[in-house]
Homo-oligomer: A and B are copies of this chain.
Amino acid sequence: MGDNDESEIIEHHDDEEMEKRSTPRNQSHSFVESVTSSEKDGHRSTQSSHRLLAYSDALISIIATVMILPVAHTKFQDNEELKESIQTLLTTKVAVYLMTFLIVTVAWAAHIRLFQVIERVDDTLALLNLACMMLITFLPYTFSLMATFPENILGILLFCACVMMIGLIQVLIVLYGFSQPFLLNDHIQMSQNRAYYKQHILKVIMRVPIMCFFASIFSLIFFQLSYVLLAIIIFLPYISQSLKWIWSKAIGGQVDDSPDSMLFYTYHPSEPLSKERVEAFSDGVYAIVATLLILDICEDNVPEPSVVKKQFDNNLTAALREYGPEYLAYFGSFATVGLLWFVHHSLFLHVTKATRLMGLFNTFSLAFVGGLPLAYQLTHEFPRGSRNELEAVQASCVIIFFAGLFQLAMWVSALFTERETLHPYVRYGGREHAFMLAKLSLYPCVALGTYFLTCILSRFSAPIFHMMEIGVPFAFLLLRLLVRVMLVLLKWLFCTGRPDVDCFPVEEVDPQLPINDIVT
């Protein structure tokens, strides 16, 4: 395409980078890595893929989340019981939402994998990536078709066609990337067996479209089973590798690894996942969930001028008072989404490297966060004091509980490999560690407590629930104080009279230690 001049620019950079890489790498302290990589980004800003990836993350996160809107917009009949309407919901719309969320995050994981191999972009790659994005955004429509017409094969065929085209575009991207080696990851670019890498990556990528091709042919013969087949095709590498990993952890045996280890496309749960992109994707989901709420408010809660004239004698304040609970619900839900983001943000401040397993838990957590607009809709839909209202509050608690719980799971899975994934000062036993744990367990605890409260107290209502949601930020502000008080209290309880026993190393950690010792 006549990109010669650009390639020259980039090759110049690469020379510089190679000089810089004389310092030994791969020593598994990611601090140094993050510093050097950010240094390099400063140099190659002309063709860095950073912004392309940020835009893709934003697109994918919005697509993943936005399918909650049709669910939340489903109207409930008041005379019906909530449980029944939830069941009618569950049949199609929630299924579409969850399918979309999962498949889109799988596509997103594939996208991460691809652009961990190809680290620089040019115009052609940017356009190819846009085409890929266009097809990914079309996936939710195929799910809508599948869910509405489960007996028609058109939905499956469309889905298979989309996946095949996405696969072909990815193959094109890989071929183009390997034809212009300066676009590649440094590790592969310098490697002797670049051809092997190319073959391996192409093989992994081509697997899905080829199997989709067979699935679409199979669907013409016996379409009911093709749903199962599709699910297997897409999740198989993850499931098999996860099982293998769990097996190896449980038994303790070693996973057989080839000596010339592939860094990417291994599907190990400990395969590195770009931390930046996990953050960007999560930010997108939290942001769109927070703003879906105000969109509903703006569309539904502005009264008609004629209604105000007739029913309220032109008294707008009285008309708006009708919507009082909904404002409360909005502020409560925004506070919850904001604080879940805040916890996620605090968590990732301490994380130096993300793994696949953490990414999986993150996806589950985000899928529940995406359900919050539904909770918002439920809690203000029903008349106050009704049995339905109580059940709506309980549903909200369940959603918040699981969103928080999977964040906690992410933290626990990070602790399992804390040497690689965590900053030294938050590792098990530090004071920051205790504080982080308290932050993470606050929401699950509050949600669980509220759930049991609703079981005991029959007069628990949605406004009280939303007031609680708004009150939680202050709990976060006080948390550090509380944790400290509790630690001192525990110390006092257990260690009085035994000054010789060093029973709480938590308090003994030298606060001067962190970071600098590692960097220098």
Chain copies in the assembly? 2
Given A9-B514, A39-B39, A43-B519, do A137 and B291 touch, yes or no (CB 8 Å)? yes
- In the complex, A316 has a CB within 8 A of chain B: yes
Task: State the interface size on chain A (CB cutoff 8 A).
Answer: 104
A350 CA to B295 CA, complexed, in Å: 36
- In the complex, A324 has a CB within 8 A of chain B: no
A69 CA to B279 CA, complexed, in Å: 27
- B127 near A473 with CB under 8 A, answer yes
A358 CA to B148 CA, complexed, in Å: 47
A31 CA to B13 CA, complexed, in Å: 13
Contact mask for chain A residues 15-39; partner B; CB cutoff 8 A; 1 contact, 0 none:
0100000000000000100111111
- In the complex, A233 has a CB within 8 A of chain B: no
CB-defined contacts of A423 to chain B, threshold 8 Å: 46
- In the complex, A58 has a CB within 8 A of chain B: yes
CB-defined contacts of A137 to chain B, threshold 8 Å: 290-291, 294, 334
Give the nearest-CB partner of A134 in chain B: B334
A423 CA to B279 CA, complexed, in Å: 29
- A145 near B63 with CB under 8 A, answer no
- A51 near B283 with CB under 8 A, answer yes
CB-defined contacts of A160 to chain B, threshold 8 Å: none
Give the nearest-CB partner of A56 in chain B: B287
- In the complex, A374 has a CB within 8 A of chain B: no
A38 CA to B258 CA, complexed, in Å: 36
- B481 near A2 with CB under 8 A, answer yes
User: Of residues A4, A35, A59, A148, which shows the largest number of chain B Cβ atoms within 10 Å of its Cβ?
Assistant: A59
CB-defined contacts of A47 to chain B, threshold 8 Å: 349
Chain B nearest CB, measured from A337 CB (Å) = 9
- B335 near A134 with CB under 8 A, answer yes
Q: Which residues of A contact B (CB under 8 A)?
A: 1-5, 8-9, 12-13, 16, 31, 34-39, 41-43, 45-47, 51-52, 54-55, 58-59, 62-63, 66-67, 69-70, 123-124, 126-127, 130-131, 133-134, 137-138, 140-141, 144-145, 148-149, 152, 154, 279-280, 283-284, 286-288, 290-291, 294-295, 297-299, 301-303, 305, 308, 316-317, 320, 330-331, 334-335, 338-339, 341-342, 345-346, 348-350, 423, 425, 431-432, 473, 476-477, 480-481, 484, 511-512, 514-516, 519
Given contacts A38-B42, A127-B476, 13 further A-B contacts (CB under 8 A): A1-B480, A9-B515, A13-B516, A36-B42, A46-B423, A58-B58, A62-B291, A123-B342, A130-B473, A131-B473, A141-B298, A144-B298, A148-B302
Provide 11 A-B residue pairs closer than 8 Å at the C-beta atoms, listed in order of the A residue: A1-B480, A9-B425, A12-B516, A38-B42, A58-B287, A123-B480, A131-B473, A133-B338, A137-B290, A144-B302, A154-B320
